[in-house]
Amino acid sequence: MTGGAGFIGSHIVDALLERGHDVRILDSLLEAAHRERPDYLDPRAELIEGDVRDPATIAAALEGVTAVCHQSAMVGLGLDLGDIADYVSHNDLATAQLIRALAPSPVPLVLASSMVVYGEGRYRCSEHGVVRPGPRAASELDAGNFEPPCPGCGRSLVAESVPEGAPLDPRSVYAATKLAQEHLSAAYARETGAPVTALRYHNVYGPRMPRDTPYAGVASIFRSSLAAGKAPRVFEDGGQKRDFVHVRDVARANVLALENGTPGAFNVCSGTPRSVGDMAAALARATEGPEPVITGQWRGGDVRHVFASADNARDVLGFSAVEDFEAGMREFAAAKLRA
C-alpha cells in the first residue's frame, strides 16, 4: 500500500486488516501532507518510510506482496506551472518506478485515480445533445456567469451523471498526471496480463482529512473555518455540483478491487449529486456554526459540475456507497482533523 499513512490510504489499511489481510505500507510522510507522524496507524500494518521513486526502496517494499494498492500522490489543482515537475515526479515518475519494479513478477494493481480526469462533467443541449463545453472564460466568470454554455449554439445546458466511458479531458496539471497514471497502469496491464483497477474517486470526505495543508479538500477547508467560528466561504454561487463520498465507502471499494482483481475504471461515488453550497450548509448545521457565505469568487482550473454515474461500479465491481451523507457530515464535524 503506497501512501498508506494518508487520509484515504489509512482507512484502506484498516479495512484490509479487518478482512484478515497482511498489509505493508510504503509512505514518504512528506511534510506537505504530514506535519507529524500519524497516530492513527494500526500497529498491525508494517510501515516502511521511503519514497516510491527510489528503486531500492520500492524493490524492498514489494518483496512477497500479492497485490498493490497505489494511493500515494501529490494532490491539488496544480495551477502554478512552477510545481509541474513536482507533480509529474511524485505522481507519474513514481508510478513508472512502481510498474518497472512490478513487471518481472506482476501482481494485481489498484490505482487511486480521480474524477478530475473528466474535466467538466457531462452536459446535454436541447438542440445538440451531449456536448463538451470548453474552459469557462474569465470574463464570464467575473460577470457571475458560471454555467458553461453549449459550444455550438450558446444555449443553457443540463448537467448529467458522468459514466466511465465519457471522454477524458484533464484541465489542470494534477488532472493530467492522474490521467497519465491511468495510461501507465494500462500499459502494465497490457504487457503483463495483470489486472489493473483504476478507481476514480469523487469528492472524498471523512475523519483524518488534513486540516489546512495543500492536501486539504473543500470539506476540510469549510470544517476548519467553522472550527474557528467563521462562516465557510463558498466560491461562485455555491451551485456547482459534486458527488461527496465518505472515506469508508472509498476504502470498501478498494478492498473489493483488491480481493476480486476486477479490471477496468470505476467511478467511486455516492451516486447522489449535491452542490458545494449544500455541503457547506450541512456542515454548518452539524457544527451549529454560522451559515455559509457565497462569495462569487472563482478559481482558475475549477470546473462547474462533475458528478458520477454509480452504475458500473455497482454492476461490475459490486460496490455501492452505504454511508449516509447527513450522518457523515455530523461525524466529520466532530472528528479530529489531521495536522
Closest CA to 91 of 162, 173, 20, 200: 173
Asked if residue 215 has pLDDT above 70, the reply is: no
pLDDT of res. 302:
85
In the chain, how many H helices and how many E strands?
11, 15
Residue 156 sits at φ, ψ, to 5 deg, of -65, 150
Q: How far apart are CA 26 and CA 40, in angstroms?
A: 16
Entry pTM: 0.93
Q: Where are the alpha helices (DSSP H) in the chain?
A: 7-18, 55-62, 84-87, 94-102, 138-142, 173-192, 218-227, 247-260, 276-287, 311-312, 325-334
Asked if residue 100 has pLDDT above 80, the reply is: yes
Amino acid letter for position 317: L
Q: Which whole number is the average pLDDT over 288-315?
A: 94
Q: For the chain, percent helix, then strand, then coil, each to nearest 5?
A: 35, 15, 45
pLDDT band for position 28 (cuts 50, 70, 90): confident
Note the pLDDT tens digit of each residue in 233-278: 999 999 999 999 999 999 999 999 999 999 999 999 999 999 999 9
Q: Which of 20-34, 188-202, 294-308 shows the lowest per-residue confidence on average (mean pLDDT)?
A: 20-34
- For residue 16, the SS3 value is helix
Q: Which whole number is the average pLDDT over 134-145?
A: 94
pLDDT of res. 79:
56
Q: Which of 23-27, 173-177, 214-218 shows the lowest per-residue confidence on average (mean pLDDT)?
A: 214-218
Closest CA to 294 of 338, 251, 234, 207: 234
Q: Which whole number is the average pLDDT over 45-72?
A: 96
pLDDT band for position 298 (cuts 50, 70, 90): very high
pLDDT of res. 229:
94
User: What is the rounded radius of gyration, in angstroms, for the C-alpha atoms of the chain?
Assistant: 20
Burial of 36 per CB tally in 10 Å (0-12, 13-18, 19+): exposed
Label the pairing between strands 158-160 and 233-234: unpaired
DSSP one-letter code for 104: T
Residue 11 sits at φ, ψ, to 5 deg, of -70, -35
